[in-house]
Structure 1
């Protein structure tokens, strides 16, 4: 299903792509494809920076900055060599913009919470479109083709549908009962560590991990001949 007749809304296929098992398979069976392995590692870590329930925020910043530096250095290398082209030797412009925005947004979100909401834990996976997608999935069960007027009219029924029907389901069933292809995880709190999520890095911590992230990105790229 991940290759033939692909469901382009299958979130679990995307999760499998960035899993440790996939990375291990690539390294074991296709050891020469180091750029693929590097991209899977870096981009998977970037996603994990948003989705992980228990890692410290300073680690999230390191993951995000490593991905940003990796992409920036890769792009700069292509631009520095006239025989290369961004259209061939790099990801699409839209993907680059999205990935760098995702990296920047995570860092800024952590800094914002640190400066303005230090008493509250930051749950970055809730700062996403996931809950909206879940609600829209429920709404499509009530009326497949709806407009804003329909949505407003159906709010009472939608609330009952969400709170009543889902009340007897397990967290995983709640995540996936409303939209084929979607795999919602924002209900999952199995390994959440709230004290860690309410611990904030200092400016010196961020400066330190920024340097470390840049070095890690440089090392990963040097393995594939990008210096």
Structure 2
């Protein structure tokens, strides 16, 4: 599915580029396609997912791949708990908060 998304995005971009050369007054990349930043982010996400699958296949054969577990939710939860103790903390304060944070996890 990730490879399909990769090829779809590239073929869609190629199609719009081809149409914009044939009909420049009606079709343009900026109006009829994603922003280039969005396109690059989506390509990066797809490539990252493919690499995650390959690494998981090669190094973690006995562990099932759960791609939704790879994210920032746990970090956001830890920093949310940290901000309950101190709204604006530095590195020393977060190190001192680790025992308190472990109680919540």
Aligned length: 100
Task: Please state if 1:66 is matched with 2:4.
Answer: yes
Cα distance in structure 1, aligned partners of 2:34 and 2:69: 28
Partner of 1:75: 13
Q: Name the structure 2 match of 1:219.
A: none
Please, which runs of 5 or more residues in structure 1 have no aligned partner? 1-61, 164-227
Q: CA deviation at 1:113?
A: 1.5
User: Root-mean-square deviation (CA), in Å?
Assistant: 1.7
TM-aligned CA deviation for residue 105 of structure 1: 1.4
1:134 maps to what in 2?
77
Matching of residues 86-105 of structure 1 within 5 Å: 86-105=29-48
TM-score w.r.t. the length of structure 1 is 0.40
TM-score by length of 2: 0.80
Query: Higher helix fraction: Structure 1 or Structure 2?
Result: 2
Output aligned runs, 1:1-227, within 5 Å.
62=1, 64-80=2-18, 81-82=20-21, 83=24, 84-160=27-103, 162-163=104-105
Larger Rg: 2
Deviation at 1:86, TM superposition (A): 2.7
Stretches of 4+ aligned residues off by more than 6 angstroms: none
Q: Deviations over 1:57-107 (max 9, x none)?
A: xxxxx2x12222221111112222232333222112221111111111112
Q: Where in structure 2 are there 5+ consecutive unaligned residues?
A: none
For residues 111 and 76 of structure 1, what CA distance do their matches in structure 2 show? 27
